[in-house]
């Protein structure tokens, strides 16, 4: 959507989400960022999520309001889809695959 | 996968080809188009044929390509009583659609002013990431837009009374219920009325040459006489509002399906029985988004009228800026068809497919009824678009449906590797097409090479009488988000 290096750390948002399944929590997290882009005209450069089993996500995200002059705006992301959606635990950690509607 | 040839430009995958198929899957295409179709189409259209309550066959139009759950170009009709409703069968962008506006202007009058005109249209119709519309609405007013669509716009001075009848469903579908729409969706949509969006959405200034008219009499009924007449085409939908409703209910259905004992072959086909509380809530929320999209294209029409009026120093009425028609190509509607030997209401899903009703249908405005419903089909920004008319054959064979555009052949990433936005813009300027784009990489993604040949796709359905070619429209100016 944008070169995140051009986004300044002007404001912070706290995000709290819950879901019975971890993959649904990932879906909700990505959807939340898309929602904030459109509803509050915001883009973010830094993301600090923590996840608790059961499943709960709390995150601090830092960014600013979209500015067409300063931000090199590219493709708009409109939604997360469940197409080829996969979340797998590996020896190194976790791997996720998801397709975004653009 | 076994594919049988049923007739000219019609193919069928029998139910024996995949476990769980309740009906066959049919694809409309020439042999060449079929051969070039991506494998995802066959996989997805046969998955659709497994959905509960599906009637007769799952269909894919010749512009078909893989999508999320349903292929783009997909049509599927379901029993109201036993069938499902699926957001994947409508698309995230609910009521993404096309509107065509005619003018009495000619190329000779517009060409000398085209750079200025495109600058002004680009200025007055916000597009791209973070774009905000100029219409400021309270929550209550936005809820009125959800339930009343174009009627709200006309009342507020954003349209003419005669606009209503030249829009599918007269610009507002009854039954929309704002209480089924999340706070999230409302927040996403409330500032976006009158914005174009991005991706493959556009506003195009076009010319109708006399030698591009295939049926002079029908074109005349639609208000098109050729002689280098200028028209404007708009392609956009319900913006973040529809997308959020799609996202919300995809999650609702993902949770709820187990309770209804529904198993789908693709998670993006998540659905619920149409008669269930979840199914009905999504349907009513979808109608809210559909009405918002009609209103969105109406506000943009108002902005187009104002811009042309200022550019040419005449009122929009004197310039003849009437709507030809407005069609949805991502929607689900209750329509009546013969199925199982009797006339029944069915829930028809059209995803990247356009309604195409034949002559005499009461849903078509009286002014057009003898010709059939106008169908607006968009090609790539390099090749042009078509105006078609609906037919009786479509009513009998395709649940009154036809194609919606040319269909992609190449991913956006591949298009960007093949084409550079800046060079493309210059190339198109040399061909006489003036482009204004918010994002040059977004422009490259929309290069003509990324799409099928629209003429071939249109011809494949014209030659078998599903939809009739009326006029071919060529671009002279294009705005992209």
pLDDT in tens, B127-147: 888 788 889 999 999 999 999
- Is residue B327 packed enough to be buried (19+ CB in 10 Å), middle (13-18) or exposed (0-12)? buried
Question: What does each of the 102 residues of chain A score in pLDDT, given as a tens digit?
Answer: 888 999 999 999 999 999 999 999 999 999 999 999 999 999 999 999 999 999 999 999 999 999 988 888 888 899 999 988 999 999 999 999 999 998
pLDDT of residue B145: 98
b vs e for A49-83, b when ≥16 Cβ sit within 10 Å of the residue's Cβ? eeeeeebebebebbbbebeeeebebbbbbbbbbbb
pLDDT at B111: 95
Q: Three-state SS for B36?
A: helix
Residue B115 confidence (pLDDT): 95
H helices within chain A, ranges in order?
22-39
Of the candidates A38, A43, A101, which has its C-beta nearest B92's C-beta? Answer: A101
Active-site annotation of B, residues: 404
Confidence (pLDDT) at B128: 84
* Residue B268: HSE in the Cβ half-sphere, 13 Å Cα cutoff: 26
Optimal mutation site among A82, A85, A87, A99, interface B, most CBs of chain B within 10 A: A82
Q: What is the largest CA-CA distance in chain B?
A: 64
Measured in whole angstroms, the distance separating CA B155 from the mean position of its chain's CA atoms is 25
A82 and B250 within 8 Å at the Cβ level: the answer is yes
A78 touches chain B (CB under 8 A): yes
Query: Is A39 at the interface with chain B, CB within 8 A?
Result: yes
Q: Is the CB of residue A28 less than 8 Å away from at least one CB of chain B?
A: yes
The packing angle between helices B239-256 and B277-312, to 10°, is 170
Say whether B128 and A76 touch across the interface (CB within 8 A): yes
What averages of pLDDT result for each successive group of 10 residues across chain B (481 residues)? 96 97 98 94 97 98 94 97 96 97 98 96 90 92 98 98 97 98 95 90 96 98 97 97 95 92 93 98 98 98 98 98 98 94 95 98 97 94 89 97 84 77 81 82 73 90 98 94 78
Instruction: Provide the β-strand partners of residue B467.
Output: B390
| Chain B residues 256-285 within an 8 A CB cutoff of chain A | 266-268, 270
Beta-carbon separation of B199 and A37 below 8 A? no
Distance from CA of B449 to the nearest CA of A (A): 19
**CB distance A76–B481 less than 8 Å?**
yes
CA B91, B59, B365, B98 dihedral sign is positive
The reply to whether residue B243 touches residue A76, judged by beta carbons under 8 angstroms, is no
Q: What is the pLDDT of residue B417?
A: 79
Which residue on chain B is closest to A102 by alpha carbon?
Answer: B199
Q: Which residue of B has its CA nearest to A79?
A: B243
Report the chain A residue with the minimal C-alpha distance to residue B187: A39
Q: Is A18 on the interface with B (CB under 8 A)?
A: no
For B437-454, write each residue's pLDDT tens digit.
Answer: 877 777 777 777 777 789
- Tell me how far apart the alpha carbons of residues B301 and B285 are, in angstroms, rounded to a whole number: 24
> Which residues of chain A make contact with B129, given a CB cutoff of 8 A?
1-2, 37, 66, 73-74, 76
Q: Determine the pLDDT at residue A102.
A: 86
- Contact between B216 and B191 under an 8 Å Cβ cutoff? The reply is no
CA distance B293 to B327: 11
> In sequence order, what DSSP letters do the residues of B273-308 get, joined into one string?
ETTSHHHHHHHHHHHHHHHHHHHHHHHHHHHHHHHH
Mean pLDDT of all residues belonging to chain B: 94
B183 has a chain A CB within 8 A of its CB: no
Other C-beta atoms closer than 10 Å to the C-beta of A24 total 19
Residue B446 pLDDT: 74
| Class of residue B17 by CB neighbours under 10 A (exposed 0-12, middle 13-18, buried 19+) | middle
| Interface check B446 vs A, CB under 8 A | no
Among B residues 327-366, those touching chain A with beta carbons less than 8 Å apart: none
- Mind telling me how many Å the CA of B129 is from chain A's nearest CA? 5
Cβ contact, residue pair B68, A78, below 8 Å? no
């Amino acid at each position: 959507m944008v070169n995140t290096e051009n986004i300044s750390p002007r404001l912070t948002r706290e995000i709290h989400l819950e879901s019975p399944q971890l993959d649904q929590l990932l879906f909700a997290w990505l959807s939340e960022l898309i929602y904030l882009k459109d509803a509050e005209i915001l883009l973010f450069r830094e993301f600090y999520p923590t996840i608790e089993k059961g499943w709960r996500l709390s995150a601090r995200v830092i960014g600013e309001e979209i500015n067409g002059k300063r931000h090199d705006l590219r493709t708009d992301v409109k939604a997360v889809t469940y197409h080829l959606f996969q979340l797998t635990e590996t020896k190194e950690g976790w791997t996720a695959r998801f397709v975004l509607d653009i | 996968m076994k594919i049988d040839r049923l007739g000219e430009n019609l193919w069928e995958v029998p139910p024996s080809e995949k476990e769980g198929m309740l009906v066959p899957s049919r694809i409309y295409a020439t042999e060449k188009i079929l051969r070039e179709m991506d494998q995802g189409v066959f996989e997805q259209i046969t998955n659709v044929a497994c959905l509960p309550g599906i009637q007769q066959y799952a269909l894919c139009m010749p512009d078909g390509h893989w999508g999320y759950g349903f292929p783009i170009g997909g049509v599927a009709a379901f029993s109201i009583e036993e069938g499902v409703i699926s957001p994947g069968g409508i698309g995230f962008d609910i009521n993404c659609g096309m509107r065509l506006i005619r003018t009495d202007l000619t190329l000779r009058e517009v060409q000398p002013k085209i750079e200025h005109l495109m600058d002004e249209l680009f200025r007055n119709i916000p597009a791209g990431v973070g774009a905000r519309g100029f219409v400021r609405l309270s929550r209550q007013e936005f809820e009125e837009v959800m339930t009343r669509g174009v009627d709200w716009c006309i009342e507020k001075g954003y349209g003419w009374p005669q606009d209503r009848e030249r829009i599918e469903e007269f610009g507002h579908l009854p039954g929309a219920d704002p209480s089924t729409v999340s706070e999230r969706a409302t927040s996403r949509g409330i500032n976006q009325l009158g914005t174009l969006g991005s991706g493959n959405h556009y506003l195009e200034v076009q010319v109708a040459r006399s030698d591009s008219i295939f049926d002079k009499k029908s074109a005349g009924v639609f208000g098109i006489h050729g002689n280098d007449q200028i028209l404007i085409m708009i392609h956009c939908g319900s913006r973040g509002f529809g997308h959020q409703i799609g996202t919300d209910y995809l999650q609702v259905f993902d949770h709820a399906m187990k309770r209804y004992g529904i198993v789908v072959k693709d998670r993006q086909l998540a659905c619920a029985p149409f008669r269930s509380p979840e199914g009905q809530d999504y349907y009513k929320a979808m109608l809210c988004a559909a009405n918002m999209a009609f209103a969105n294209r109406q506000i943009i029409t108002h902005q187009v009228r104002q811009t042309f009026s200022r550019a040419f120093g005449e009122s929009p009425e004197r310039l003849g800026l009437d709507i030809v028609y407005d069609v949805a190509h991502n929607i689900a509607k209750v329509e009546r068809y013969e199925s199982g030997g009797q006339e029944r209401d069915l829930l028809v899903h059209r995803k990247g497919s356009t309604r195409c009703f034949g002559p005499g249908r009461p849903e078509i405005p009286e002014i057009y009824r003898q010709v059939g419903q106008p169908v607006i089909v968009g090609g790539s920004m390099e090749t042009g678009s078509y105006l078609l008319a609906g037919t009786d054959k479509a009513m009998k064979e395709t649940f009154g449906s036809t194609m919606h555009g040319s269909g992609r052949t190449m991913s956006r990433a591949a298009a960007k590797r093949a084409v550079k936005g800046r060079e493309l813009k210059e190339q198109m300027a040399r061909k006489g097409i003036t482009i204004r784009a918010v994002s040059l990489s977004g422009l490259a993604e929309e290069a003509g090479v990324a799409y099928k040949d629209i003429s071939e796709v249109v011809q494949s359905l014209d030659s078998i009488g599903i939809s009739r070619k009326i006029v071919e429209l060529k671009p002279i100016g294009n705005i992209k988000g």
